[in-house]
Amino acid sequence: MMLSRLSFGASSLGGVFHAVKEAEAIDAVFTALDNGMNFIDVSPYYGYYRAETVLGKALRQLPRDKYYLSTKVGRYGKDGVNTWDYSARKAKESVYESMERLGVDYIDLINVHDIEFADLQQVAEETLPALVELRDKGIVKHVGITDLQLENLRWVVEHTPAGTVESVLNFCHYCLCDDKLKDFFGFFEERGIGIINASPLSMGLLSSRGIPEWHPAPKQLVEACSKAAAYCEAKGYPIEKLAIQYSVENPHICTTLFSSANPKNVEKNARWAEEPMDDTLVAEVREIIGDSFRLSWKNT
């Protein structure tokens, strides 16, 4: 798959960050494609199936060859309660259920979602082989894994046959406050594995609006990023703009995913991604973040 540098993450369509209007969310999908994005990522977990359902309403109005589509297996939920099931049986069932919600007859990329919540041995020996079986049948075209913890992604790749894992999706580790993903470029590239970067705003840390209540980042990092955002605002250069530009400029990354259910924000991010980045401001933001740089957290 030849992906656009900036791509559309559909988590916001499930109301993950705040309440959304369905018609506006559907228009956000159209706006993303109209502005050159050709990759859409979603999961049954986002909004507890709502994101896939809303996205499906948009995709039914679009030619299937206009986009690449990614969804996930392993992490689910209902009525505010998270659930996980990485069994082969559930993985296969989940793919077909997602296709029904999305209104498609194949998935371009199927991911095992947030593998740090799984037994990694089960992912390597049961979940992934089940998805490879679907790949062999043409139900899915490619197979990948996602996680916050880069070490888990590396472990699974090391413990599966070559060609099993075709891509990795990692979030919050290639952005203005954390570039740990750089340490793993060589490992993945040597094995022909595509690298997908997600959450260039670090789930709201790198934004003028600030983080949602549930954000797991340590207080020290939250305060440092808040100071950086205020500094950028005073310079007349939104930190969101700088964050998007920073994340899309690295040639080792196939694509960077951002999520918004607001068509105006989608259009704005697409425009920012094409504009030159202020390297001096990047250095100044790094200085403000200081000792909090690469200060991470556990997934929730």
- Residues designated catalytic: 46
Q: For the chain, what's the residue count?
A: 300
* Residue among 256, 199, 248 nearest 17 (CA): 199
Q: Report d(CA 50, CA 11) in Å as an integer.
A: 9
Q: Report d(CA 13, CA 205) in Å as an integer.
A: 20
Where do runs of H (alpha helix) occur along 120-177? 120-122, 128-136, 150-158
Q: Exposed (0-12), middle (13-18) or buried (19+): which is 85, by Cβ within 10 Å?
A: middle
At how many degrees (to 10) do helices 219-234 and 239-248 cross?
A: 100
The pair of structure tokens assigned to 258 is 């951002």
Q: Report d(CA 124, CA 290) in Å as an integer.
A: 38
* Residue among 233, 251, 239, 224 nearest 277 (CA): 239
- Name residue 56's amino acid: G
Distances (CA, A) of 229 to 69, 118, 235, 276: 33, 35, 10, 19
Is residue 156 a contact partner of residue 187, using CB atoms and an 8 Å limit? no
What's the 3-state SS for 145-209?
EEECCHHHHHHHHHCCCCCCCCEEEEECCCECCECHHHHHHHHHHHCCCEEEEECCCHHHCCCCC
